A and B are shown apart, each in its own frame.
Chain A
Amino acid sequence: MISPMPATDLAIDVAGVTKRFGDKTVVSAIDLSVRRGEIFGFLGPNGSGKTTFIRMLCGLLTPDAGTGTCLGYDVRTQQRDIKRHVGYMTQRFSYYEDLTIRENLDFIARLYAIPDRRAAVERSLERLGLQHRSRQLAGHLSGGWKQRLALAACLIHAPQLLLLDEPTAGVDPKARREFWDEIHRLAADGLTVLITTHYMDEAERCHRLAYLAYGHLLARGTVAEVIATAQLTTWTVTGPALPALAARLRGRAGVEQVVAFGNTLHVSGGSAGQLDAAIAAVRTPAHEWTRVRSGLEDVFISLMGGAEDNFS
């Protein structure tokens, strides 16, 4: 449980942030505050504007509208200061594959003019368990090691805010878990982390979440808050001939999602009454129906469906 902090302790505090490319609005009037020391999850389908929003936070892009601060610096005018105190890990590995791990870290350390550079590089290698590989070319590393290197590189200047854009895409479960343990250690030391992901298990490891679709922020809060606000009703059903049952359920009023999970179907809808009526129409004793708590994924899919109607 995070104790409420005064407003001055916000690492990110922006309002009405908007970005347009040509006549396409990629990020539309987003308000967001993230407390210092918080791990904030940023979710949303591909192309929802997550990367663009992050680029505005770290000073790579200037918002077309909106105001706000990142680490107390104005996101429109103090981009240089922001860059000095933010660590940004891009979606794609973006260090030099033809440099060794040490050379990459050394290069980044020089760009930030870190005092006692050698020691800083050494510390960073050590913390991420990269010492024995320091002379290996970055291009020869596996996905998991590349990700570690990228994390080490964006931490080398001791940033106060870490912006991670899908850092665990294509990384195996064990490496993902280690990565998240490291993120939690860093947050415990006071680092603020904003992280985008498509994995629900990762979303649940964040202190708070926000869900973005078509450039609009659709939900925010803790996992429990997001699920509660969505007011989604979900049933599971087991029994014979599930594909046929699924086909009969789809398209009925009140049924928003019918998803197969192995030998179970998840059936969700925004209106409990309508959903109950739809289920009653197909319900037979052959199947076992149970009402369950909606999962984060059910909620997000439902939000996305709603957003499609409203904004696309």
Chain B
Amino acid sequence: MSGFAFHRLWAVVLKEFIQMRRDRATCGMMIGIPLLQLTLCGFASNSDPKHLSTAIRSADQGPFARTLVAALRHSGYFNLDHEAATEAETQRLLQLGEVQFVINIPEDFSRKLARGEQPTVLLEADATDPAATGPALSALNALSATVFNRDLTGPLAGRRARSGPVNFSIHAHYNPENITQYNVVPGLMGVVLTMTMVVITALAITRERERGTMENLLATPVRPFEVMVGKILPYIIVGYVQVTLILLAAHFFFDVPMLGSLPLLYAVALLFIAANLAMGITFSTLAKNQLQATQMATFFFLPSILLSGFMFPFRGMPEWAQWLGSCLPNTHFLRIVRGILLKGNGLAEITPEIWPILIFLAIVMTIAVKRYRQTLD
């Protein structure tokens, strides 16, 4: 054996670079994935989520009530975009996840405040994700001490001090103890399914093509549809095994409450699994080799974690990120799982989250079938 020779090392280095450059898609991904990650983590992530959807139910139209509402708006945490008249309405908004908070101002608010009786404002929060509600609630406490300083002048100045002129009573719905696992463990279901289902099927057809078995398959009477569905079906079962494992772990290890119907969850999971499998199949008809297929799957997987509301509170993300996130099936599946498990949602409540997954499935499946047909001739 002769020792180390630089020219041999260099030969290998050069060859690697040439091969890297030839594989355009891989090259693109090597640049694209870090850029994507930077953009998503850097700009979309927000551990201090603001502008959270809030519904206001005000029984008092007095000046103090208006001041309070204005102050909440100015704090930046509350986006007062819903108004509710009845309690039933506010409960529905919370249940559907349309709003993060409901603020209830009682009818004698202004009168009590003027009398120095410390009126109570009830703030209800959807606390499924503690990360989303925490900072807003802290801000609220800070705000309550100073909010009426401008209004409480002259004879009322004496009402300023003390422990604050208003008493905020906070009612954390769905996850009152703010246990992070309650939010993360159900969320993991969507993430795990996305990761495995997309990657496995992304390789499915690419592998057949790369190994040359595709040509053989096409020469037999088997139809493209049969191949595709035949490849998807086994993984639906795998997906269900994963769902079951996560549910078992959630129940036995993390004590995650399961308020809603598990059969409903299993039924919706089928739709979500199918959407991911279809995505994977589409990738595998687009990719030239297995490496590209894996990279495409990663490209899909990253936003599915980062923009779906799994990693960061969804409503705390900038609008463009929310918009992107809404296109991903995982975003809707997370809401469904959390809704069913933590809020006890039924079919009626989760329907708004089902149809985006259906649309996604339809679009992606169309692309997959179209692409697969083209590879025949």
- B344-377: which have CB < 8 Å to A? 376-377
| CB–CB B221/A84 < 8 A | yes
Q: Residue-by-residue, is B36-50 near A (CB-CB < 8 Å gives 1, otherwise 0)? A: 000000000000000
List residues of chain A with CB within 8 A of the CB of B18: none
Contact B218 A60 (CB under 8 A): yes
What residues of A have a CB within 8 angstroms of the CB of B377 in the complex?
A: 61-62
Q: Taking the nearest CB of chain A, how far is it from the CB of B187, in angstroms?
A: 35
- A300 sits at the interface (CB 8 A): no
Q: Judge whether B221 and A83 touch: CB under 8 Å.
A: yes
- A126 and B219 CA atoms in complex are apart in Å by 24
- Across the interface, B220 reaches (CB within 8 A) one of A83, A93, A96, A97, namely A83
Most chain A C-beta atoms within 10 Å of own C-beta, residue among B213, B218, B220:
B220
Contact A92 B212 (CB under 8 A): yes
- Residues in A with CB closer than 8 Å to B212 are 90, 92-94
Report A-chain residues with C-beta under 8 Å of the C-beta of B376: 60
Contact indicator B219/A59 (Cβ below 8 Å): yes
Q: Mark A104-141, 1 if CB is under 8 A from B, else 0.
A: 00001001100000000000000000000000000000
CA distance A80 to B216 in the complex (A): 14
Give the Cβ gap from B373 to chain A, nearest Cβ, in Å: 12
| A95 contacts the other chain (CB 8 A) | yes
Hey, which chain B residues are within 8 Å of A80, CB to CB? 221
Q: Is A40 an interface residue (CB 8 A)?
A: no
Distance in angstroms between the alpha carbons of A26 and B214 in the assembled complex: 22
In chain A, residues 58-76, which have Cβ atoms closer than 8 Å to a Cβ of chain B?
58-62
Say whether A214 faces chain B, with CB atoms less than 8 Å apart.
no
Please name all residues of chain A whose beta carbon is closer than 8 Å to the beta carbon of B214 when the two chains form the complex. 94
B219 proximity list for chain A (CB < 8 A):
58-60, 83, 86, 88, 90
B8 at the interface (CB under 8 A from A): no
Given A61-B377, A62-B377, check contact A94 B220 (CB 8 Å).
no
With both beta carbons as reference points, the residue of chain B lying nearest to A61 in the complex is identified as: B377
Q: Let me know if B216 and A95 touch, CB within 8 A.
A: yes
Chain A residues with CB below 8 A from B213, complex form: 94-96
B49-89 contact mask (Cβ, 8 Å, vs A): 1 or 0: 00000000000000000000000000000000000000000
Q: Which residue of A lies closest to B376 (CB)?
A: A60
| Chain B 217-228 per-residue mask, 1 if CB under 8 angstroms from chain A, else 0 | 011111000000
B215 contacts partner chain A, Cβ-Cβ < 8 Å = yes
Please count the residue pairs between chain A and chain B whose beta carbons lie under 8 angstroms apart in the complex: 39
Q: Which of B214, B215, B222, B377 has the most CB of A within 10 A?
A: B215
Instruction: Identify the closest chain A residue to B227 (Cβ).
Output: A111
Q: How far is the CA of A270 from the CA of B215 in the complex (A)?
A: 41
B221-A90 in contact (CB<8A): no
Residues of A near B150 (CB, < 8 A) are none
Bitwise interface map of B from 183 to 218 toward A, beta carbon under 8 Å scored 1, else 0: 000000000000000000000000000011111101
Using Cβ atoms and an 8 Å threshold, which residues of chain B touch A62? 377
Q: Name the residue on B nearest A93 (C-beta).
A: B212
CB-based nearest A residue for B222:
A111
Task: Determine the chain A residues whose CB is within 8 A of the CB of B215 once the complex forms.
Answer: 60, 90, 94
Q: Are A112 and B218 in contact (CB under 8 A)?
A: no
Closest Cβ of chain A to B227, distance in Å, is 10
Q: Chain B's nearest CB lies how many Å from the CB of A289?
A: 49
Q: Which residues of A contact B216 (CB under 8 A)?
A: 88, 90, 94-95
Do B211 and A108 touch across chains, with their CB atoms under 8 A apart? no
Give the contacts of A6-61 with B (CB-CB under 8 A): 58-61
Give the contacts of B266-295 with A (CB-CB under 8 A).
none
A29 to B220, CA, bound (A): 26
Which chain B residues border A88 with CB–CB below 8 Å? 216, 219
Q: For residue A152, give the distance in angstroms from its CB to the closest CB of chain B.
A: 13
How far is A111 from B377 in the complex, measured between Cα atoms in Å?
Answer: 21
Q: Are B221 and A111 in contact (CB-based, < 8 A)?
A: yes
Residues of B within 8 A of A60 (CB): 215, 218-219, 376
Q: How far apart are B344's CB and chain A's nearest CB, in angstroms? A: 46
Nearest-CB residue, chain B, relative to A113: B221
A112 to B220, Cβ gap below 8 A? yes
Give the docked Cα–Cα distance between A136 and B6 (Å). Answer: 44
**CB of A101 to closest CB in B, whole Å:** 15
In the bound complex, how far is the Cα of B220 from the Cα of A108, in angstroms? 8
Bound: A83/B211 CA distance, A = 21
**Least CB distance, B115 to chain A, in whole angstroms:** 81
Question: How long is the Cα–Cα vector from A94 to B211 in the complex, in angstroms?
Answer: 7
Complex-state Cα separation, A88 to B220, whole angstroms:
9
Which residue of chain A has its CB nearest to the CB of B216?
A94
B209 to chain A, nearest CB (A): 11
B220 smallest CB distance to A (angstroms): 5
Q: How far is it, in angstroms, between the C-alpha of A92 and the C-alpha of B215 when the chains are bound?
A: 10
- A86 and B221 CA atoms in complex are apart in Å by 10
Of all chain B residues, the one with the shortest Cβ separation from A98 is B211
Q: How far is the CA of A97 from the CA of B212 in the complex (A)?
A: 11
Q: Whole-angstrom distance from the CB of B177 to the nearest CB of chain A? A: 49
Task: Give the distance in Å from the alpha carbon of A97 to the alpha carbon of B207 in the complex.
Answer: 12
A to B CB contacts below 8 Å, 10 in the list: A60-B376, A62-B377, A83-B220, A90-B216, A93-B212, A94-B213, A94-B214, A95-B216, A108-B220, A111-B222
**Given A59-B219, A84-B221, 17 more contacts at CB 8 Å?**
A58-B219, A80-B221, A83-B219, A86-B219, A88-B216, A90-B215, A90-B219, A94-B211, A94-B214, A94-B215, A94-B216, A95-B216, A96-B213, A97-B211, A111-B221, A112-B220, A112-B221
